[in-house]
Amino acid sequence: MAVTVTTMQKMKQAGDKITWLTAYDYSFASLIDNAGIDAILVGDSLGMVMQGHATPVPVTLEDAAYHTACVARGASNCMIVGDLPFGSYQVSKEQAYQSAVTLMQAGAHTIKLEGGELQVETIRFLVERGIAVCAHIGLTPQSVHQLGGFKVQGRGDAAQQLIDDAVKVEQAGAFAVVLEAVPAALAKQISERLSIPTIGIGAGVDCDGQVLVLQDMIGIYPKKSPKFCKNFMYGSASIEAAIERYIKEVKDRDFPALEHSFS
């Protein structure tokens, strides 16, 4: 049975950890889907791991739609989350809607966009028009130049802003929220406060689910991977076995461990 927004809500309520991975092509999407992943994120991380850019900023909507269509041909059981690229949703709610339509017509079931309070009206606008939206707060890679690099977010006085962002995107109708590079204790607090699932990436084991970039997870990205990543190919006989191991370790709360988290 296909994984849906309702499936993930029930998983949170049951305390069953949710597993996401990125994919950008037919072959890997099929492999990941067959391994039993809950969702594939066609992330704008493709700008780095597929196109060789230093950030996701150069990714276009056309790029995202192309890779979403490739993934949709390979995945038939998991949820497909299409990532709205930089510049495709910030101008207006109407622009965001048209961009979301493009990704959904390419095969995405839901879409993801970066930003908390600033995106509340856009999230509400999309949800009211039948589009399931995942928010993304904490380290938002599309804003990497404004943030001064890929840095942990939400420490000290900034913690309350992240809590407020999380609450507001939930109130706007987001079905889930990605927490990236957030102190584990803060992510736990947010996860306990929200009724929607939190999907962590560098946000500790207490998030309702986890997501990693596939190329980091199997150790084929040629540049240095973030601290919160783990190479699951070590000790695995195949890529499929590595993916199955990732799923099991997330479900069993063995990943992320302390060394993959921030304080």
Query: What's the rounded Cα separation, in Å, for the pair 231 and 115?
Result: 29
Q: Is 76 annotated as a binding residue?
A: no
Query: Is 128 one of the catalytic residues?
Result: no
Q: What is the 3-state secondary structure (H, E, C) of 160-214?
A: HHHHHHHHHHHHHCCCEEEEECCCHHHHHHHHHHCCCCEEEECCCCCCCEEEECH
Q: Is 44 annotated as a binding residue?
A: yes
Report which of 187, 122, 176 is spatially closest to residue 153, judged by C-alpha positions: 187
Query: What's the rounded Cα separation, in Å, for the pair 101 and 113?
Result: 13
DSSP of 67-102: HHHHHHHH-SSSEEEEEPPTTSSSS-HHHHHHHHHH
Q: Is 114 annotated as a binding residue?
A: yes
Q: Indicate which residue of 180, 244, 249, 259 is catalytic.
A: 180
Q: Is 83 annotated as a binding residue?
A: yes
Query: What's the rounded Cα separation, in Å, for the pair 163 and 138?
Result: 10
Kindly report whether the peptide bond that precedes residue 85 is cis, defined as omega within 30 degrees of 0.
no
Yes or no: say if 31 and 239 are a contact pair by the CB < 8 Å rule: yes
Q: Is 112 annotated as a binding residue?
A: yes
Q: Which residues are catalytic?
A: 180
| Sequence ranges of the binding site for 3-methyl-2-oxobutanoate | 44-45, 83, 112
| Sequence ranges of the binding site for Mg(2+) | 44, 83, 114
| Sequence ranges of the binding site | 44-45, 83, 112, 114
